[in-house]
Amino acid sequence: MKSVEIIIDGIKKIVPKRITILKIAQDVGIEIPTLCYHSAIEPYGACRLCIVEIERNGRKRYVTACNFPVEDEIKIETNNENVVKIRKLILELLIAKVGYKGKVKEYAEKYEVEPRFGIGNDDCILCGLCVNVCKEIIGVSAISFSQRGIERKVSSPFEKEPTNCIGCGACSFVCPVDAIKVEDIKNERIIKKINAKLELEKCKICQKPFIPKKLIEYIKNKLGANVLLDIFLICNECKGKNYVDKLLPFSLTGGKK
């Protein structure tokens, strides 16, 4: 693979072509703030927070580090005055949309951002992580963006129960502002934001409903198995207790199951 020499925050480095600025920064140990980036998911470039300055032949430009592939010799500034100014503006706009929530709150504090355009109360910053994790990693695509402009939002088709959702909760897991809540109520898993409602299977040991039946089917399909090992059918609490029982000569739980 061809490589190029770049300078990032004054550090010279030879990097393979087409590597993203964000990856270079991570290698060197420079922290760039991100909201819509996840290492397991294709960069989407939605939040713009990872903005950095690049200089090529004396010309400066601002690009998003997460999805900018390095092609030639450039100088990168990840944290100079201009970059910080833009980042603050982006955070001010995010605060105007969702207020102080999750990672937005963290970064707002770190960059000492005042609410210049007011404090909003939407739940979602439209980063796309939930949509993309469901599509790329889970391979289900139960949800997507709908509408556009100021009405753009994450939703299930027709705002109805998504028939293909397996209730895995990956969307909730990746959300940087905790917009997607997963609740297990009696024998149902409810993900209100995306109108999902799934029947739960009981834990083999304690009988507490804990895993969506559709998720079991999904795992079976992935593994090409007719039956699943108990490890998938026992809830986390019971798994913990069981391991303790097996590993310690004198069980802390008194051997009770």
Partner 1 sequence: MRKLEVDKILEKNGWSKNKIVGILQDIQDSYSYLPEDILIYISEKLNIPLSQIYSISTFYRAFSLKPKGKYRIKVCLGTACHVRGGYMIAEFLKNKFGILPGETTEDGLFSFDTVNCLGACAIGPIVVINEKYYGQMDVRKTEKIIKGLENEKNKQF
Query: Measured between alpha carbons, how far is 40 from 253 in angstroms, rounded to an integer?
Result: 38
Task: At 215, give phi and psi (nearest 5°).
Answer: -70, -35
Give 45 or 157: the residue with its C-beta nearer to ligand FES.
45
- By the 8 A CB rule, do 203 and 190 touch? no
Stretch that binds ligand FES, among 30-38, 106-114, 154-162, 248-256 (CB under 6 A): 30-38
Residue 251 interacting with partner 1 (CB under 8 A): no
Report what 215 binds from ligand FES, ligand SF4, partner 1, none; CB cut-off 5-8 Å by kind.
Answer: none
Nearest CA to 32 among 5, 61, 8? 8
Write the CA distances from 29 to 8, 35, 54, 107, integer angstroms.
Answer: 11, 18, 18, 18
Report what 128 binds from partner 1, ligand SF4, ligand FES, none; CB cut-off 5-8 Å by kind.
Answer: ligand SF4
In the list 49, 54, 65, 127, the residue contacting ligand SF4 (rule: CB under 6 A) is 127
Give 87 or 214: the residue with its C-beta nearer to ligand FES.
87
Query: Measured between alpha carbons, how far is 4 from 21 in angstroms, rounded to an integer?
Result: 12
Residue 148 interacting with partner 1 (CB under 8 A): yes
In the list 8, 83, 154, 215, the residue contacting ligand SF4 (rule: CB under 6 A) is 154
Stretch that binds ligand FES, among 39-47, 146-154, 182-190, 249-257 (CB under 6 A): 39-47
In the list 26, 67, 79, 164, the residue contacting partner 1 (rule: CB under 8 A) is 164
- By the 8 A CB rule, do 124 and 147 touch? no
- By the 8 A CB rule, do 211 and 198 touch? no
CA 147 to chain CA centroid, nearest Å: 22
The contact set with ligand FES (CB under 6 A) reads: 34-37, 45-50, 64, 66
The contact set with partner 1 (CB under 8 A) reads: 135, 140-148, 155-158, 162-164
